[in-house]
Structure 1
Amino acid sequence: MAKAPMNDDAFDRVAYQEADQQFRLVSEKLPRQAVTSLAREVVRRLEFRMPRAAKKEEMPSTTGIDALCEALLSTHDRAADDMIVAARRDGVRLEVIYLGYVAGAARRLGQMWDNDEISFAEVTIASGKLYRMIRALRHVVAPAIAEDRDERPAMFALAPGETHSLGIEIATDIFRREGWDVDMLVGLDHDTLVARSETRSYRAIVLVANSDTMLEPLTRLVLALRISHPLSHLVVAGHILDHHPDISTMIGADAVIKDIDTAVSRLQEVMDGMG
């Protein structure tokens, strides 16, 4: 596991290391087509995070963005991290680092990918570095991302492509009977589900899947939600746990819910920071 080189208190070292480990596992264990899809997900989710409150004159130049892309594509694992640390030491605000440097680099990488200027291996490595970087910045970017959103306790969502909805419907009913305010999303494709989730800010997001073929769609969904809900607890439930007992590490979830009998107490533990 890579050790986080960022020594600023604003960087979440644990999230950085977990994101790094997740992307390495994904690259090793999933087929190339799936890895390509996941890398593309990271790039496209980040590239449209345009600057909001930051002043135009604070934004990095084209040269600065190109330099970060070069660092992301280099064989030096921490070159991009070193650039961000240097920018912080020069007084660049963290909002500018995320909204300018990270988003700008994602847009540039997307263009290079579309123009076949970079290889599959290069874009996978660069996407992983970007992902762990924004995970490390999650406490900084969360206020801007969650701006104007209603705050809600939990969202239960059925993984895109999953057809067995009875379990999530039963679980939602149980939680609501216990007094929980839960939004349930079922039967939605990936982009629609993510877009619907972005209308609110959730303390916990429970993703339900049953088939063992849901590993790649579930991983892709987690990557997207990590970017759009940086502080939410992400939990996995459903029979997919029977097929992939180590799924939490593989897809980067915070916890799992193994059975309906303990679901309410388990989710409360997670939300209280015990899981």
Structure 2
Amino acid sequence: MAYSEVETIRKTLPKTALTDLAKEVVKRVANNLRAPIPPELRPTSAQIDELCQALLSQDPLAAIGLIEQAQRKGFSYDTLCQIYLAGAAARLGEWWDEDQLSFYKVTIAASGIYAILRTLRLQRTLPAQDLRRSAIFASVPDDTHTLGITVAADMARDRGWDITLLTGLSHDALVEEVENQDTALIGLSASGKRVLPAVLKLIVALRLCKPKARIMICGRLAAMDLHLDGIVGADVAAADFDTAFDYMEKMMNTAPRAP
């Protein structure tokens, strides 16, 4: 499923937007590389190269096969994400900077990395969370239509939610702000198709830095039947206030809570 969603994006977006998405995946995943790494968990240079070549191949299952082999050897989720995939992303980034990879090849590899991360996330058994009635509402970078998200934040507060409202931030500043906060829900407001590339890039970044959080797309873009609740991994697209608040309440009522 994750591979088909990413392939849909590659066929839909212009080359410049795809380049931004590919750079976002490679940069975010490569930045997850942790040091020092225990020797028994450190992949060899040959293993990293093998994973990179699998990600660059036309076979969407080649790379996931290597990840499954690593899982059978006992590699944990954190090891796979923070060491194995991060190492491959860093290597791909080096090849890209050195012009050893074409744009087309890089988008294939980035699509593979992101699809694997989404697959691993879906497979992962997460501990019960102590979810509070808190959420982050944010306007998409470069979207000047912030009245709707401001009104939504006030309405959610009237319903007993603790809302952090973020508007007017650049992509990196917004991701950093969200990454430093503990939240179960991120609501993103987007006014139309013009900001679709920025929305997709932002979802990718948030999925990588906040894998446990749910992402809700709001605003006029959510009403355009673009299947944003599937592409790139948004959890729901809410075209109006009632739909958004119904989802938030349902999320709270069905989510497991820590004892």
Which residue of the partner structure matches residue 108 of structure 1?
A: 91
Which residue of the partner structure matches residue 107 of structure 2?
A: 124
Which residue of the partner structure matches residue 210 of structure 2?
A: 229
Provide, for residues 53-80 of structure 1, a one-character-per-residue CA deviation record: whole Å limited to 9, x for no partner.
8524421111111111111112222111
Which residue of the partner structure matches residue 254 of structure 1?
A: 235
- SS in structure 2 at match of 1:183: strand
**Residue type matched to 1:190 in 2?**
H
Provide, for residues 152-184 of structure 1, a one-character-per-residue CA deviation record: whole Å limited to 9, x for no partner.
731101000000111111110111111101111
TM-score by length of 2: 0.89
Is the CA contact 1:98–1:141 (under 8 Å) kept in the aligned structure 2? no
Which residue of the partner structure matches residue 34 of structure 2?
A: 51
**Residue type matched to 1:105 in 2?**
A
**Residue type matched to 1:58 in 2?**
L
- SS in structure 2 at match of 1:91: coil
Is the CA contact 2:140–2:198 (under 8 Å) kept in the aligned structure 1? yes
- SS in structure 2 at match of 1:130: helix
Instruction: Count matched residues.
Output: 252
Question: Whole-Å Cα distance in 1 between the matches of residues 126 and 164 of structure 2?
Answer: 21
Is the CA contact 1:66–1:105 (under 8 Å) kept in the aligned structure 2? yes
Mark the runs of 5 or more structure 2 residues left unpaired by the alignment: none
The answer to whether residue 187 in structure 2 is matched with residue 210 in structure 1 is: no
Question: Could you say if the C-alpha distance between residues 40 and 97 of structure 1 is closer, same or farther in structure 2, counting changes exceeding 3 Å?
Answer: same
Question: Could you say if the C-alpha distance between residues 166 and 107 of structure 1 is closer, same or farther in structure 2, counting changes exceeding 3 Å?
Answer: same
Which residue of the partner structure matches residue 6 of structure 1?
A: none
Question: Could you say if the C-alpha distance between residues 234 and 271 of structure 1 is closer, same or farther in structure 2, counting changes exceeding 3 Å?
Answer: farther
Identity of aligned residues (%): 36
- SS in structure 1 at match of 2:246: helix
Residue 140 (structure 1) shift: 4.9
Is the CA contact 1:156–1:168 (under 8 Å) kept in the aligned structure 2? yes
Is the CA contact 2:144–2:168 (under 8 Å) kept in the aligned structure 1? yes
- SS in structure 1 at match of 2:143: coil
The answer to whether residue 150 in structure 2 is matched with residue 169 in structure 1 is: yes
Question: Whole-Å Cα distance in 2 between the matches of residues 141 and 105 of structure 1?
Answer: 25
Question: Could you say if the C-alpha distance between residues 200 and 152 of structure 1 is closer, same or farther in structure 2, counting changes exceeding 3 Å?
Answer: farther
Residue 137 (structure 1) shift: 2.1
Question: Whole-Å Cα distance in 2 between the matches of residues 89 and 255 of structure 1?
Answer: 33
Superposition map of 1:196-207 within 5 A: 196-207=177-188
- SS in structure 2 at match of 1:224: helix
Mark the runs of 5 or more structure 1 residues left unpaired by the alignment: 1-16
The answer to whether residue 158 in structure 2 is matched with residue 158 in structure 1 is: no
The Cα RMSD (Å) is 2.4
**Residue type matched to 1:21 in 2?**
S
TM-score by length of 1: 0.84
Question: Whole-Å Cα distance in 2 between the matches of residues 133 and 229 of structure 1?
Answer: 16
Provide, for residues 215-250 of structure 1, a one-character-per-residue CA deviation record: whole Å limited to 9, x for no partner.
100000001101011121111000123445533334
Is the CA contact 2:56–2:108 (under 8 Å) kept in the aligned structure 1? yes
Residue 104 (structure 1) shift: 0.2
Which residue of the partner structure matches residue 4 of structure 1?
A: none
Is the CA contact 1:43–1:109 (under 8 Å) kept in the aligned structure 2? yes
Is the CA contact 2:189–2:217 (under 8 Å) kept in the aligned structure 1? yes
